[in-house]
Amino acid sequence: MDAAAWNSRYDTTELIWKGEPNQFLPVEVNGLTPGRALDLACGEGRNAVWLATQGWTVTGVDFSEVGVAKATTLAADNGVAGTWICADVTGWTPPSDGFDLVVMFYLQVPAHELAMALRTAVAALAPDATLLLVAHDLLNLSEGHGGPQDESVLTTADGVLDSLAAAELSLGVELIVERSGRIDRVVSTPDGDRTAIDTIVRARRVGGES
Ligand SMILES: C[S@@+](CC[C@H](N)C(=O)[O-])C[C@H]1O[C@@H](n2cnc3c(N)ncnc32)[C@H](O)[C@@H]1O
């Protein structure tokens, strides 16, 4: 989906993904000291806004101006601030001083675009910073519930790790992969609970790199 399609999807008064953070975010950032956080493809801002309520100084980037406007409103409704940028994350240049946490949730785009977005994510990491990606896994198509049904935009942990390795090489930084694989997510439906299968990758940039 391009930015225009996302704009029309977001063009409703209610929030598509509600205002709550993704269920994996609080667990995965537990123990990190709040600092500067970047949410790439932030959409309506649920994850960035939650991080802001936890003391992080957040920046959200998304190419949908309607999404970004909703994120701005969600932040205000929660009494927190944020920097909200309308930009394409496959080509965006992050500030050189970097972020302590970079998150990317459910950016479902073809593999070459995801690789470019992951390069942006790695470029945005300050030394010792954490990168967290969660996305609909390819396995979800055959074994899970919901999510995009187009296999070209679904992820695998191995595919994400390959893109991260390419980004490390081209940017001259080193990552330590702390977690990678599939993770099951319980989804409540009118017919009862279902299981969705996500890809999760969490990595940390090795400190002291220039
Ligand atoms: C499924 S939504 C997820 C939103 C948010 N991360 C969340 O979990 O609530 C995917 C988001 O990716 C954004 N997006 C897709 N391609 C993008 C790109 N190339 N640059 C910036 N944002 C993009 C869309 O506008 C949309 O907000």
Q: Tell me the per-residue pLDDT of 91-137, one tens digit each, with 9 for 90 and over.
A: 999 999 999 999 999 999 999 999 999 999 999 999 999 999 999 99
In a domain, 148, yes or no: yes
Q: Does the beta carbon of 135 sit less than 6 angstroms from any atom of ligand 1?
A: no
What pTM was computed for the model? 0.96
Number of domains comprising the chain: 1
Q: What is the pLDDT of residues 189-200, one digit of tens each?
A: 999 999 999 999
pLDDT band at residue 18 using 50, 70 and 90 as cut-offs: confident
In a domain, 150, yes or no: yes
Among 10, 15, 63, say which to mutate for ligand 1: greatest number of ligand atoms within 8 Å of CB: 63
64 has pLDDT over 60: yes
Shortest-distance Cα residue to atom 14 of ligand 1: 41
In a domain, 53, yes or no: no
Beta-strand runs (E) in 19-73:
36-40, 57-62
In a domain, 27, yes or no: no
Average pLDDT rounded to a whole number, residues 186-190: 92
Nearest residue to 111 via CA among 95, 78, 135, 130:
135
In a domain, 50, yes or no: no
In a domain, 140, yes or no: yes
Query: Which residues constitute the domain of residue 198?
Result: 114-124+135-210
In a domain, 179, yes or no: yes
Q: Does the beta carbon of 22 sit less than 6 angstroms from any atom of ligand 1?
A: yes
Average pLDDT rounded to a whole number, residues 22-42: 97
Query: Tell me, what's the pLDDT at 144?
Result: 94
Token pair in block for residue 18: 């509600």
- Residues contacting residue 61 through CB under 8 Å, at least 6 positions apart: 38, 39, 40, 41, 42, 85, 86, 87, 89, 92
In a domain, 187, yes or no: yes
